[in-house]
Amino acid sequence: MKAVTLPRLFTYLHYLFVAVLGAITLAYLNNDLLFPYAILTILVLLQLGISSNELFKPSRSRFLYLFGLLVSLGCWFKYSIYAIIPGTNFPEPIGKFVLGSPEEADILWVSSIGIAGIFCALLINQYIEPLKNYCKEEHSETSKIAAIILLSLTIFTAVINLKYNILLFALKPDIQLPFKGNVLFFLFLTRALPFLFLFYCLRKFSLTYITLGAFMITAASVGVLSRMGILIYFFVIFFLVVRELPKWSLKSALKNISVLAFIFAATAYVNVSLSTGAREFFFAQEKTTQTTEPPQEVSINTIIETSRDSDNLKTLKSLALGRWIGIEGIMAVNSYPEKGFRLLNEALAEKLYDGNSFYTTISSKNPVIQNTSKVVVTSVPGPIAFLYYSNSYLLIFFGLLATSMFYIFIERTLSKLFPNHLAASVFIIVVLSLDFYQFGISPIAFTKYLGFTLFSVIFFYFIQRKFPSIK
């Protein structure tokens, strides 16, 4: 097999997976669900098939592939798994939606309309002039000193955050820093440090630096109790592999992909184990504060011991199959009787949340709770369900189309700013894709975060242009 056929094989695997899972699922559905599910499957097939093929054209959109993949996993894949595996439950709240009701066809149509909007953006992008001189491999020397400094700084910052709870997922902070310092600290650990590592240390494909980066991202993720950081990182590595794949022989491809699969499996297991153990430890600490027992001191050893007691493989399986956002949000909104533009306006006006988000009133039968605990958990609807507040299919379609085109514009701008730093520019795209995929609570805060992210990237661009020595 020639190396040139590897990209084609990659695309064929997308078509094959969707076609096989779709055909199996159809055998389990009632007659009234066959047509809407078939339409949804065809749209997913076209979206993933075409966008996966476009990845091998350096100037084409990576956002459209990734965002389309995430939405497909959250809607089509999750619904398919629910249909064919007995006893499977949706992990997120679905409001008053009754499974097995005629409304199941509605949620399939709404999902189809949302994916159709993304697919149309993909078609429009075919007619946009490709970028020139983009995605070239950088052959300058990798900074070993920068790698050591960034790794050390990440570990130090993560330990500080675990010890003092400046900003941990699902917990109210113990320390309130001025000038939004808690958020800035979080962004420094989970966004700025990984970006700098990718910019300075992963300018070309290197298994050594990919492994080092995996440990760094794992430390950052555990440091904020996140289980998504390693996924973000390996999406970036995935796009690096796509760039290299046409250059590799079959033997080289199998070797490199096998090594990467091992690195991902190992670091994902460590990431999920330690983050889950840390969460359980901190949640247990919160319970002891409501009793007379003195709280246990935070230490890495206690977190590791707690992680050993967790069923980590079961947690990994749950995250892989059930933690994709999409179909539950559509179900919850579908069952809410007061959909309309007034409801959408109320959702858009939400500024902050403390565990009782606007979406909670939609997705839960007993929504409002007195939030006296430090533990803060919430669910998010996703962009399709959020637009579905309006009860307008047209808004869902054109909303997903317009926002997809907006993100394509951002992606092209980043590509022009950092044409020879694929890993760094793609990291921003991956982060923004995942953030938008989880859209649905505090739209105002989301807009501020998006603006701050783009401002920071542009500021860094001008700094490294002004001082070429820091390149």
Q: Where are the alpha helices (DSSP H) in 245-311?
A: 250-289, 300-308
CA nearest to 379, candidates 328, 316, 345: 328
Beta bridge partners of 375: 171
Write the CA distances from 58 to 23, 54, 416, 423, 454, integer angstroms.
Answer: 33, 8, 12, 13, 22
Share of the chain above pLDDT 70, in %: 85
State residue 199's pLDDT score: 93
Give residue 261's pLDDT band: very low, low, confident or very high (50, 70, 90): very high
The 8-class DSSP code of residue 190 comes to I
Asked whether 81 and 323 are in contact (CB, 8 A), the reply is no
Cα–Cα distance between 311 and 443 in angstroms, integer?
Answer: 35
State residue 93's pLDDT score: 84
pLDDT at 275 over 80: yes
- Helix, strand, coil share (%) of the chain residues, nearest 5: 70, 0, 30
Largest CA distance in the chain: 69
What beta strand segments (E) does 139-225 contain? none
Cα–Cα distance between 350 and 357 in angstroms, integer?
Answer: 8
Cα–Cα distance between 309 and 305 in angstroms, integer?
Answer: 7
Helices 229-244/207-223 angle, 10° precision = 160
Please write the tens of the pLDDT for every residue from 359-391: 988 887 544 444 556 677 778 899 999 999 999
Cα–Cα distance between 318 and 438 in angstroms, integer?
Answer: 18
CA nearest to 416, candidates 455, 452, 458: 458
Q: Which two tokens stand for residue 437?
A: 């995929």
Please write the tens of the pLDDT for every residue from 414-454: 988 888 888 999 999 999 999 999 998 889 889 999 999 99
Helices 63-72/31-54 angle, 10° precision = 160
CA nearest to 228, candidates 272, 168, 182: 272
Give residue 99's pLDDT band: very low, low, confident or very high (50, 70, 90): confident
CA nearest to 431, candidates 239, 267, 235, 213: 235
Helices 250-289/312-322 angle, 10° precision = 110
Please write the tens of the pLDDT for every residue from 65-83: 999 999 999 999 999 999 9
Q: What are phi and psi of 375, to 5 degrees?
A: -75, 125
Cα–Cα distance between 112 and 293 in angstroms, integer?
Answer: 53
Q: What are phi and psi of 131, to 5 degrees?
A: -75, 145
**Chain centroid offset of residue 75 CA:** 15
Write the CA distances from 397 to 19, 111, 113, 303, 391, integer angstroms.
Answer: 24, 10, 6, 45, 12
Cα–Cα distance between 225 and 326 in angstroms, integer?
Answer: 23
Cα–Cα distance between 51 and 427 in angstroms, integer?
Answer: 18
* Entry pTM: 0.90
The 8-class DSSP code of residue 74 comes to I
Please write the tens of the pLDDT for every residue from 166-222: 988 878 888 899 988 999 999 999 999 999 999 999 988 899 999 999 999 999 999
The residue with tokens 């184990």 is: 273
pLDDT at 2 over 80: no
With H, G, I as helix, E, B as strand and everything else as coil, classify residue 421.
coil
Cα–Cα distance between 136 and 205 in angstroms, integer?
Answer: 12
Please write the tens of the pLDDT for every residue from 43-55: 999 999 999 998 8
Write the CA distances from 385 to 71, 207, 271, integer angstroms.
Answer: 11, 40, 30
Cα–Cα distance between 73 and 14 in angstroms, integer?
Answer: 13
CA angle 61, 67, 72 (to 5 degrees): 130
